[in-house]
Homo-oligomer: A and B are copies of this chain.
C-alpha cells in the first residue's frame, strides 16, 4: 500500500508552539522515538509521520488544525491497527482530538464496509415501495424477563414500527439470557408480522417489523449469540463497536452476522469527531446503520455535528455502500417532522423512552410515530430529500 493516510487533529496550544507540537505528534503516532536516532534515511522517509498542513482553527483562535500523513503500510488492513495509528498514544494527551481521517483507496477497499447498507436495511424491513423514513424503537428496561420484552415487541410490531432493537443495556444477563430472550421476542414479532399480513389498515398491510437484538460481550459469546439468532431467523443485530472492540465488530460480527448491523455509539467518548467515528469509521468497519444522539435530547451533540455524521454515512467512500443515519437519544414523536426535514427521507428515527412513557397508551403513541413517518414521505419529504443529497464536510466535535 503506497499512498499515505491523512489525519487531521486539533491541537490546543499557542499558535507559536503549534509547529513543534504537530511534529511531536507525528513522531508519537508513528516511530515513537527521536527521528535522528533512526539510522536508515530510507526507513525514516517511509514510516515517519509528517506534518502536511497547519492552520489556526477557524472556530477557536487558541487551537491549531494539524494534518499529518501516516504510512499505509503501518496499518496493514487491520481495523485495530488503524485505530492505533490514528489515535493510539495521543488518546492519552488531553490537548489532542482527532477530527478527520482520509484513507487511500487501497486501504478503503481493504476494510469490509457495510454488507447491506441503507438500502439493504430498508429492504430487510417491510417498509414497502417508495422512500419513507424508517422507525426504530427500543425494548427496555434491562431487568425485564423475556416474556415481558416479547410483549413489548409484539405491541411495537403491531403498531408498525420497522425496527425493534434491544436497549444497549440489555446484554446476556440472568433476567433475560440471550437465547431465551431472542427466541421469545422474535416469535412475538413473527406473530405480529403474520397478523399484519391480513390487515385492512393500508399502513400495516404487509408491513414487516425487524428485531435487532443487542449482540455483545467477548468474541466467543458473540459467536454463540449469532448462532442463536440464526436458529430463530432474526433479521438484524445491534452492536456497540467501541465496547466490543472494532476488531471483534469486524471479524466476529460484520463477517459472520449475515444480517444488517446497527451500530450503537456507547463508549465512543468525546475525543474523536463523531462524524469520523460514528459516520465514516463505523461504516468502514461494517455498520449498515449508525445511531447517534441527536441535538436537543439528552446529549450535547450540535445540529452541525449530527448533520456531519449523516453526511459521512452517505458520502462517497471507496467501494462502500451508504449507510442509514439513525438520530436518537431523547427524541419525541412531535419532533419527527423536524428531524426528517433535517436528515431527509432515507433516515431511520429512533424513539424509545417517549413511547414507553405513554404507559397504557403506548400502542397508540407507537402508531402515531409510525403514521408520522408515512405522512412525512408525502409532505416535507421531497424538500428534505433534496437537502440531504448535499454531503456536508466532516466537522469537529464542539467539546
Interface residues of A (CB under 8 A from B): 24, 28, 30-34, 36-39, 43, 46-48, 71, 73-76, 78-81, 83-85, 87-89, 91-95, 138, 140-144, 167-169, 171-175, 216-221, 240, 242-248, 250-252, 265-271, 293, 298-301, 352-353, 356-359, 399
Contact = CB atoms under 8 A, between A and B. Distances in A.
Contact of A94 (B91, B140, B242, B300): B300
Stoichiometry (number of copies) = 2
Pick the 4 closest A-B CB pairs, nearest first.
A245-B245, A31-B141, A47-B143, A88-B266
B76 A173 contact: yes
A243 to B, nearest CB: 5
Contact of A169 (B31, B174, B298): B31
A43 B149 CA distance: 13
A50 B174 CA distance: 21
B250 A38 contact: no
Nearest to A247: B218
Contacts of A32: 138, 140-142, 167-169, 352-353
Most chain B C-beta atoms within 10 Å of own C-beta, residue among A48, A73, A143: A143
Given A47-B143, A76-B173, A93-B300, 18 more contacts: A31-B140, A31-B141, A32-B352, A34-B357, A37-B353, A37-B356, A43-B144, A47-B142, A73-B143, A74-B169, A78-B172, A78-B221, A88-B243, A89-B266, A91-B267, A217-B247, A245-B246, A270-B271
Nearest to A251: B218
Nearest to A71: B143
Contacts of A240: 84, 88
A174 B270 contact: no
A172 B39 contact: no
Nearest to A219: B219
A148 B46 CA distance: 16
A83 B47 contact: no
B80 A143 contact: no
B269 A269 contact: yes
Contacts of A173: 73-76, 81
Contacts of A89: 168, 266
